[in-house]
Every structure is written in structure tokens, then in C-alpha cells.
Chains A and B, each alone.
Chain A
Amino acid sequence: MTQWGIEVEHLRKEFDGKPAVRDVSFTVGAGTLLGLLGPNGSGKTTIINCLTTVLTPDGGRLLVDGCDVTGAPEQVRARIAVTGQFAALDEVLSGRDNLMLFGRLLRLPKRQARQRADELLDRFALGDAADKPVKAYSGGMRRRLDLAASLVVPRPVVFLDEPTTGLDPRSREELWQTIRQLRDDGATILLTSQYLEEVDRLADRVVVIDAGRVIAEGTGDELKGRVGGQVCEVTVPEPNRAAAREALRAFSGEVAEHGEHLVVPVSRPAQLVEIVRLLDDRGIEIDDAALRKPTLDEVFFALTGRADETADGDERAADGDAGTTGRDGERPAGAVPAEGARS
């Protein structure tokens, strides 16, 4: 048993001369969950692909459960469970037959493979759909079955590449519950996400990457601390919002707009009063003004200097450079069924 479940030292990977991962180092403590956070194209999936032996790194040293990824890939594959960005299942086979197929591939005897499949179907609430072909499954069911398929034989290290992308909120919450359970069972988990909330809710530690580099690292709270202690969120109804925004800009350069809320970082609680007074002086009516801790979204904004458009934008876009030919492991966009549509 090593102290680290995953060690990444100076990982580099490029595609056709274009760097996808420039120089990434981080560690994941054994039995902890690390959230790898970054927008589309930041290199998350490339990192996962290198760690899971799918891609050969151009440089750096990668250890998974103490095994060298380039030196002993078969040792690594025997220690990992991987759930990719897209549910990798046999569409023709039923849920049970999929789990049995993977169990048999992992050399479980038939009876044991069946028993394990039934256990997992139960645990992932798929019992009712066990004998339906996977093509009839909803997006949430696919994701659950996909995760179950990677857990047919329990592994010490688990990779989850954007496991909840495209899921409805309820399915997402259910999957989060399962992931927490996995962590509580002692697995080392590396989870990538472009949902800041997801990482915030699940991860022991967070590594933020952008354009193939680590730009921040720490616990969720530490990262939030970077933005400043607190933010002031002012709720302004139209048609006053533009005027309010203008007024707040005089107060702080960084005004973010989320729907009807305007958010400004504050350094002292007393600034709440100053903000309310400022708006009142200018005759701008507001519905509400309150202090709160910043969200990771705001952290992300502060770290990268831009809003994370990807989180609620094109969720299905691959985590790779635009126009990727699939060499980074992404499917060509045309071949991707809109999972959200099924859920």
C-alpha cells in the first residue's frame, strides 16, 4: 500500500505538435477523491487517458497504485476501474448481460459473474431494467450501468471522467451518492468535471487546470479563499440591472452577472452596507443584497480571468481541441448520441 493512489509528475502530451498537457503534476492520496476541474479542451481527458494506459505520455512519470503506467501498463490495468465520458456499453445486450460480459472478461466464473451482475443491478437501482437492451435505457440509467460495469471487480483506483455530464439533476444526485459510497469503501478516485458544484460537493482536494497546466490546487475552501473571503450578491430586477452594474463597477472592477444577480467580491462585511447605500443614492431599486461565500464558479472566474461558459453551455462537447480527430479519445461529434435527450 502506497501513500499515494495516483502520482503524476511533469506529464506532457501533445497531438500533432499541439500541446494538450504541458507540464502537469499532482498526487491523489490513497483513499481520497481528487477533483480535476477545467473547461473543455483543458486536457482533463488526455490526463485520464494517459493514466489509464490508453495514451502514451510524451514525458513525465505516472504511477497508479505504485505501478508505472508506461513501464507496467498491464499491472495498471489490473488495478483500475474507468468510467469514461460516454457510457461504453454494448447497446444490443441487456444490462445484466453487459455486466456478465465484463465479469466474464475479467475471468469470473459464469455463476459468479451472474451473481455479481445481480448485486450491482440491485445496488445501482437497475433491477427492473436488467433484461432490457441497453439501447432502451435512459441517459441516467446508462451512466449508472456504465459505472457498475467498471466496478464488476472492485479496484483500488477509480477514474471517473465527467461521470454526470448530460444527466438530469436527480440522476446526478444519485450518481454522486454512489461516488461518495465508493470513496467511503476506500477507493482512490480521480474525478474530472466541468461542473464546479460537483467537484465542490465530492472532492477532498481540487486541482484546477486550464490550457494543459495546473493553475490552482487545494481544498475547495482554500480555493474559495483565494477570491477573497466573501462576495456580495445583489438581486436587481429589470430594468435597473444595467444601471446597478454600472454603479457596482465603480465599487469593484470584477462584477459578475448571473441571471438577475450581480456578484462583487468584498473584503469586509461592512462593504455590504456601502453597496446598498451606493445603489440607494443612485435611486436603483433592488430586491435583495446578501453576503455569501464565493462558489467555485467565481473562483474559476477569478483564476482564469474568464467565465466558465462550458458548465451550462455545450455539455456534450468533447474535452479536446476543436476539430479533434478522435485521437485524443473523443468520438467524432457526429457519432455522439445526445444523451441528454434520452434522460
Chain B
Amino acid sequence: MTAAAGTEAGLGNLVAQGAVLAGRNLRHRATVEMAVMFVVFPLIFVFGFLLLFGRLFDARGLDYGQFLPPAIVAQWMFTVANTSGAASAADRASGMYRRCLVMPVNRGAIALGRIASEAVGAFVAVVVISLTGHLAGFRFHGGVLAACGFVALAVAFALALTAGTTAVGLSSGDPAAVATLLNLPYLALIMLSTAFVPADAFPGWLEPVIRNSPVSVVIDALRSLASASPSWVEVRGAVVWVAVLAVVFGVAASRVFRRAR
């Protein structure tokens, strides 16, 4: 038996092991089901909703082709986060997570690998939906910088949500239960938001809740970033919400991470 190899300490291990784990996480995403989920479903959603509501909203003077894709983006950021939570649960159930813990694998690399792979997943989803939206008339009217802001905000939103779903996934360890459980806040938050209809379509007493829900705030900021005159105030509101979610979920995730075995 050879002598012990190096320990897990150091930035080099963090980066290199994080990259290896991110690559492994992404290979899980590169399956047929995932391709269907991340390419075919957004297509169906964009054109399905457009077909259902497009003419209805056109009659009201709302360009639904421009209105809808940011909502589908937000929806898919949830999907990225939820599938990631289920993947964390699966890693605990299969013992993969445990194996990493008893190997000289930098503790931070496990988190970094998750963050990196979900960032790539979210980025791909945003690009696919934007291209799909393009066919439906969606355009970035605000220029390249605003378009980059659009992508960055969406990805940041996905990562903040992922911290939360990781906390749930790691503490449960049951992928099927996690997937079901995470659908509840996702559906509630998407329905009770400006995703598919403007805030004034909701009953008056509900409107303030709808307008200020993090999902609405993020979607409205995405719409603003795609518009001809992006509003800094709207974007700032979304950045604050994403930061708050990232801190709260990040703390929860790191606490679970230290405890989960």
C-alpha cells in the first residue's frame, strides 16, 4: 500500500474537484429526459400559451409574444432548481454524497460543483427559451448589455432557488418526495404572480401581493430588461429579492450541508 496522498485542503482542490463534480452533475442533465425537459417543454409552453392567450391579450393591446418568454424563463429557473434539489436527494440516497464526504474531497467543492452545473443548466435554458421566444416575436429591445443583464438575473434567480432546493433535497434524501414537494411552492408562486397575466387581472385585494411577490418582481425586471427602456428601479428590486433569497436559502443549505450524512 502506498503512503497517503495529499489532503483535500487548498484552493487547487476546491477548483479542480469542483470542476470534476460539476462535469459529473452536467452528465446527469445530458440525458434524453432532460433534453426533452429543457428544450421541448419550453417550446410547448411558449407556443402553447401564445396560442391560448395570444389573441386574447392582443385584443387588450398587450404584445403577448414579448410578455410571455420572460415568464417561461422564470418558470424554467424553478425547474432547474427543483431538478437540482431532487438530484441532491438522489446523491444522498445513493450514497454518492456520503462517499464524497469520506474521500479527501474539498467540502466546498461539493457546493461549487452544484453551483457551477446549475449555472450552466440555467444558462442553457435561458438561451433556448430566448431563441424560441424569438420565433414568437420576442426581442431584446434594450441592447446587448440589457440582454446580458437578462441572462445574469435569470441565472442568479435559478441559483438562489437552487440553494433552497438543495437544502430540502439534502435533508430529505428521497428524490421522488422532494420532486413532488418542491412542485407546491413552484406552482403557487408562478400562479400567484405576473407570469402569465398582468397584475391588474387579479382581484384588487390580491394585487399588492402579486406585484411584490419575488417571482413577479423578477419576471417584471426580466421584461424590463428586454424592453426598449429598461427600468433601473425594477431591476434593483429584483436584485434585492434574489440577494435576500440567496442569503436565506444559502444559510439553510450550508446548515443542512454540515449536518447531512
Contacts and interface: CB of A to CB of B under 8 A. Distances in A.
Contacts of A106: 5, 103-104
A335 B93 contact: yes
Interface string B1-41: 11111111100010011001100100110010000000000
Query: Which interface residue of B96, B98, B99, B261 has the most chain A CB atoms within 10 A?
Result: B99
Contact of A155 (B4, B7, B100): B4
Interface stretch (A85-93, A206-214, A216-224, A236-244): A85-93
A65 interface: yes
A108 B260 CA distance: 28
Given A102-B103, A154-B2, A84 B93 contact: no
A180 interface: no
Contact of B99 (A88, A185, A327): A88
B261 A156 contact: no
B225 to A, nearest CB: 36
Among B20, B95, B103, the most chain A Cβ lie within 10 Å of the Cβ of B103
B105 interface: yes
A78 B24 contact: no
B70 interface: no
Given A54-B102, A101-B20, A74 B9 contact: yes
Interface string B94-123: 111011111111000000000000000000
Contacts of A53: 101-102
B261 A327 contact: yes
Interface string A83-126: 01011111111000100011011110000000000000000000
A335 B22 CA distance: 25
Contact of B102 (A80, A90, A153): A80
B95 A92 contact: no
**Interface majority SS on A: helix, strand, loop or mixed?**
loop
A332 B173 contact: yes
A293 interface: no
Contact of B98 (A102, A185, A329): A329
A150 B5 CA distance: 14
B31 A92 contact: yes
Contacts of B16: 107
B220 interface: no
A77 interface: yes
B12 to A, nearest CB: 8
Contacts of A86: 94-95
A130 interface: no
Size class of A's contact patch? 35 or more
B4 A105 contact: no
Contact of A79 (B4, B28, B96): B4
A87 B102 CA distance: 14
B195 to A, nearest CB: 32
B27 A92 contact: yes
Given A74-B104, A82-B102, A153 B5 contact: yes
B98 A93 contact: no
A316 to B, nearest CB: 14
A269 interface: no
B8 A77 contact: yes
27 contacts: A53-B101, A54-B102, A74-B7, A75-B7, A77-B8, A77-B103, A77-B104, A78-B8, A78-B104, A79-B4, A82-B99, A84-B99, A86-B94, A88-B98, A89-B94, A89-B95, A90-B24, A92-B31, A106-B5, A107-B6, A154-B2, A156-B3, A186-B1, A187-B1, A329-B261, A331-B95, A335-B173
- Nearest first, the 5 A-B pairs at minimum CB distance are A88-B95, A88-B99, A74-B7, A79-B4, A82-B102
Interface of A: 49, 52-55, 65, 74-75, 77-80, 82, 84, 86-93, 97, 101-102, 104-107, 149-150, 153-156, 185-187, 326-327, 329, 331-332, 334-335
